[in-house]
Structure 1
Amino acid sequence: MAIILGDSDLEELPVMQLAIEAIEGALLARSMGGLVSPPRHNVSFAEKGDLIFTIGGMLDDASIAGFRVYDTFKGPRHEQITAVWSTETAELQGLIIGTRLGEIRTGAIGGIAIRYMSSPDARTVGVIGSGQQARAQLEAAALVRDLTHVRVYSRSERNRYQFALEMEERLGIPVEPVGSPRCAVREADIVICATSSLTPVIKADWLKAGVHINTVGPKMVDEHELGLDVAAAAHLIATDSPEQVKAYKMPFFLEGTASAERLVDLAAIVSGKLTVREGPGQTTLFCSVGLAGTEVLVGARILDALKARAGAD
């Protein structure tokens, strides 16, 4: 019988660590052609909104397939459903309902980008944004780098102080709320931009040489949280899904610029096919767009961990 989980069930396991392991395996499989990950598919319901499907899985001996679906309907609460099948047995292994899995998956992809693209001795982080994805990105960063200090800025003073209190307690490292985005990023080895801003939130000349940046928020040509100056300053620019970049209805924010020609696949970096840093002063940029199918693989890893724990009990 399939297992059905909700957000609260995910708190019983080290889900971010499980997700990072699953994402790393997925990107290695992608580099060898073993990951199914087509661009997301939108089904429109006129002015009501869309249902959006991401479908994918792994082509190996323990083959997993499935989908995630979420909505853009006008309402106070938005649920997501992730379904996981075994393609070997045709068994529906489980359903995960809620928003937490998507946050964890995206955070874990950002964590893998930081593991493979940031300087190995990166210790400090500047965070712009104080929502759930900023939390997930920082949690993942703390699992892949030995962090010593974090600064956070968001437009709401209350929100950035709450973020600092919560994440300092969760991670066990100092998290300092600051009064400007420049103060948050100017000495950071790693910068995380996770906002809903439609205009750039940082400038290239605020950043130290050799920084790594993750951008998670809007990335369309007329609406983007990161400026073209930051992309132009980057020695290397990567994304988790070049296919999704090309499939957007609106052009990607780098389209038509010289920076677009330098966009590479994160999977090629994880597999060692591309060298990231040739010197300590080189800046790197990761543009998160959402690699389809990875929610399914993270969900499968969580379901397996719960089954293993139940068996041990």
Structure 2
Amino acid sequence: MTKILSDEDLADGGLMAVAIDALESAFLARAGNRLMSPPRHHVSFPDRGDLVFTVGGILGDKPLAGFRVYETFEGAEHSQIVAVWSANDARLKGIVLGERLGNLRTGAIGGLAIRHLSAPDARIVGILGSGAQARTQLAAAAAVRKLDHARVYSRDEKNRLAFASEMQHALGLDIEPADSAREAVADADIIICATTSQTPVVHARDLKPGVHVNTVGPKTLQGHELSLDVADAAAVIATDSPEQAHAYASPFFLAGSGNEVRMADLADIIAGKAAGRRSPEEITLFCSVGLAGTEVIVASAILDRLCVPG
């Protein structure tokens, strides 16, 4: 019988570590040309929205294949489907429905960036944004670093208060609401920028030496949550998918700045093929764009974890 999981099944906080470990292996496979991850494909329904498909998998002793599809139709609720097959024997391992897997996957990729680019002794996190992505990014940071303190800012005071209370309880971490973006990132060793802002909310003047920055929100020339001078200040700029960054319908926010050509593939940094952080004072920047196919890898690991026979 095909295993089917939903958002309620993925509520276990321990699944973040499972996702990060699965993606560590996937990124090493990518560096070795064993990860299948073509750019996403859109099918448009005029005046309604798109169905968006990502297909991917991994080659090796236990090859996997699968896809994710989600929609951009207008409505109060959105949904997505991830299906995973064993490519050895055509067995459908399972299906995962809902939004939580995508958020978990994106958070885990951010956690990998923090693991490999932030200072090993990073303890303080500044968070901009209080939505689902901010939550999973912070959970991933807590999974890879021994954090002491976090500050969160978002425009809605009620939302940032709720975020601080909820995540403090979930992670056992001291989390303080901040009154401004600048206050939230002051003295932070790690900055998580997960907003919907089309104008910069973080500038180079706000950063201390040695900080690592994850940006998850808008990153096109038409609108971007980070100031371009953050990239100028960064000694290392990385992304999870240079192909996807170049495939945006609207040009990537670093296009024409001279910094786009400096952008390394996170997989190559993890595999030691490209340089990562070289000193405690260096500023590092990770631009999350979504590595297609990785939902399949995370879904497979979760299916293995939650659906053990007996």
TM range (shorter): over 0.9
Report the Cα offset of residue 307 of structure 1. 2.6
Structure 2 Cα separation of the partners of residues 63 and 253 of structure 1: 35
| Structure 1 residue 154 corresponds to structure 2 residue 154 | yes
Aligned to 2:173: 173
Query: Structure 2 vs 1, CA of residues 12 and 187 (structure 1 numbering), >3 Å: closer, same or farther?
Result: closer
* Per-residue deviation, residues 115-161 of structure 1 (Å, max 9, x unmatched): 00001111100000000000000000000000000000000000000
Report the Cα offset of residue 227 of structure 1. 1.0
> What secondary structure sits across from 1:82 in the alignment?
strand
Structure 2 Cα separation of the partners of residues 241 and 275 of structure 1: 17
> What secondary structure sits across from 1:252 in the alignment?
coil
> What secondary structure sits across from 1:291 in the alignment?
coil
Aligned to 1:4: 4
> What secondary structure sits across from 1:150 in the alignment?
strand
* 1:46-65 → structure 2 map (5 Å cutoff): 46-65=46-65
Aligned to 1:134: 134
Aligned to 1:86: 86
* 1:197-236 → structure 2 map (5 Å cutoff): 197-236=197-236
* 1:36-75 → structure 2 map (5 Å cutoff): 36-75=36-75
Aligned to 2:187: 187
Structure 1 Cα separation of the partners of residues 117 and 51 of structure 2: 33
Query: Structure 2 vs 1, CA of residues 2 and 156 (structure 1 numbering), >3 Å: closer, same or farther?
Result: same
Query: Structure 2 vs 1, CA of residues 162 and 287 (structure 1 numbering), >3 Å: closer, same or farther?
Result: same
Report the Cα offset of residue 60 of structure 1. 1.0
Structure 1 Cα separation of the partners of residues 120 and 13 of structure 2: 27
> What secondary structure sits across from 2:56 in the alignment?
strand
Task: Indicate the RMSD between aligned Cα atoms, in angstroms.
Answer: 0.9
Aligned to 1:289: 289
Structure 2 Cα separation of the partners of residues 62 and 277 of structure 1: 33
Structure 2 Cα separation of the partners of residues 278 and 77 of structure 1: 44
Amino acid at match of 2:280: P
How many residue pairs match? The answer is 310
Report the Cα offset of residue 279 of structure 1. 1.8
Report the Cα offset of residue 13 of structure 1. 6.7
Structure 2 Cα separation of the partners of residues 202 and 115 of structure 1: 22
| Structure 1 residue 242 corresponds to structure 2 residue 242 | yes
Structure 2 Cα separation of the partners of residues 165 and 307 of structure 1: 32
Structure 2 Cα separation of the partners of residues 307 and 277 of structure 1: 38
Aligned to 2:17: 17
Report the Cα offset of residue 11 of structure 1. 2.1
Gaps of 5+ in 2: none
Flag as ranges the 4+ runs of structure 1 deviating above 6 A. Answer: none
- In the superposition, the TM-score normalised over structure 1's length comes to 0.98
Aligned to 2:273: 273
* Per-residue deviation, residues 235-263 of structure 1 (Å, max 9, x unmatched): 01000000101111110000011111110
Amino acid at match of 1:290: G
Aligned to 1:122: 122
* Per-residue deviation, residues 35-90 of structure 1 (Å, max 9, x unmatched): 00000000000110000011100001111100011000011100010000111111
Gaps of 5+ in 1: none
> What secondary structure sits across from 2:11 in the alignment?
helix
* Per-residue deviation, residues 261-293 of structure 1 (Å, max 9, x unmatched): 110100011111222122211100000000011
Structure 2 Cα separation of the partners of residues 153 and 15 of structure 1: 26
Aligned residues with identical type, % of pairs: 59
Structure 1 Cα separation of the partners of residues 29 and 277 of structure 2: 23
- In the superposition, the TM-score normalised over structure 2's length comes to 0.99
Amino acid at match of 2:39: P
* Per-residue deviation, residues 195-243 of structure 1 (Å, max 9, x unmatched): 1111111111011011000000000111111110111110010000001
Report the Cα offset of residue 12 of structure 1. 4.5
Amino acid at match of 2:79: E
> What secondary structure sits across from 2:307 in the alignment?
helix
Aligned to 2:298: 298
Query: Structure 2 vs 1, CA of residues 36 and 125 (structure 1 numbering), >3 Å: closer, same or farther?
Result: same
Aligned to 1:96: 96
